[in-house]
Chain A
């Protein structure tokens, strides 16, 4: 009875050690892939894979040693690696977008100037129409200007 249980324990030990060795080799291969990768997205993919493998290693260690607190570390590791991938991809995307907008910016400014001129012309036409329609529009305008001047004086 006891000899059977002892055999089971040694088998467990060899299983866990073998799995840890396999995972360590694969972790090293992932690191090599991250160094080789030509693009940024490539490196991020392999770093994500490394995070997953480290999580499996920590969970295996927790079951092997019978320590429950290692699983908490595993949860925290999962959250931090997820956050790292999100932050890195967002930051790199933001930097690229900023570079693109800096290249395009002068054309945009010209467009804005044209738009402002169009708005000014339209408002002048509208003002003229109002003056034509109402006979005492000019009086009203003068009165409005005086009021504004008075208001400015009061403010001053």
Chain B
């Protein structure tokens, strides 16, 4: 019985640490890349995949509850909403043309 608890702990920790690693990669790439549309790719990847992995880890650690279902709801909601907000920010960047003089014109 105790072994099963430890196995659950190890599995959940692996998922959680994978999500943390994705967040760290996201931060590094946001600092390293030099244009908004490139940074946005890294940020959207971290938002969808990183939060999916870390909340899956939390779900495994929590066990079968109503809380687990709510965490699943958060993941599904974020998978729908994060691409939409990234798309809107990209449209904002194309409409304002603030980086045009340095990085060339963005094709509409």
How many residues on the B side are at the interface (Cβ–Cβ under 8 A)?
51
Interface size class of A (residues with CB under 8 A): 35 or more
Contact A96–B58 (Cβ < 8 Å): no
- Contact A93 B67, CB 8 Å, known A15-B13, A55-B74, A82-B85: no
Chain A positions within 8 Å of B65 at CB level: 68
Bound state CA distance, A63 and B26, in angstroms?
24
Contact B74–A4 (Cβ < 8 Å): no
Interface SS, A side: helix
Chain B positions within 8 Å of A52 at CB level: 46-47, 50-51, 78, 82
Contact A46–B92 (Cβ < 8 Å): no
- Contact A11 B9, CB 8 Å, known A56-B55, A90-B88: yes
Chain A positions within 8 Å of B2 at CB level: 1, 4-5, 8
- The interface bits of chain B over 64-102 (1 if a CB of A lies within 8 angstroms of the residue's CB, else 0) are 011100110110011001101110111111011011000
- The interface bits of chain A over 51-83 (1 if a CB of B lies within 8 angstroms of the residue's CB, else 0) are 011011001101100001001101100110010
- The interface bits of chain A over 10-23 (1 if a CB of B lies within 8 angstroms of the residue's CB, else 0) are 01100100010011
Q: Which of B8-61 contact A (CB under 8 A)?
A: 9, 13, 16, 19-20, 23-24, 26-27, 30-31, 36, 39-40, 43, 46-47, 50-51, 54-55, 58, 61
Bound state CA distance, A29 and B23, in angstroms?
11
Bound state CA distance, A93 and B84, in angstroms?
16
Bound state CA distance, A92 and B5, in angstroms?
51
Q: Which of A76-125 contact B (CB under 8 A)?
A: 78-79, 82, 85-86, 89-90, 92-93, 96-97
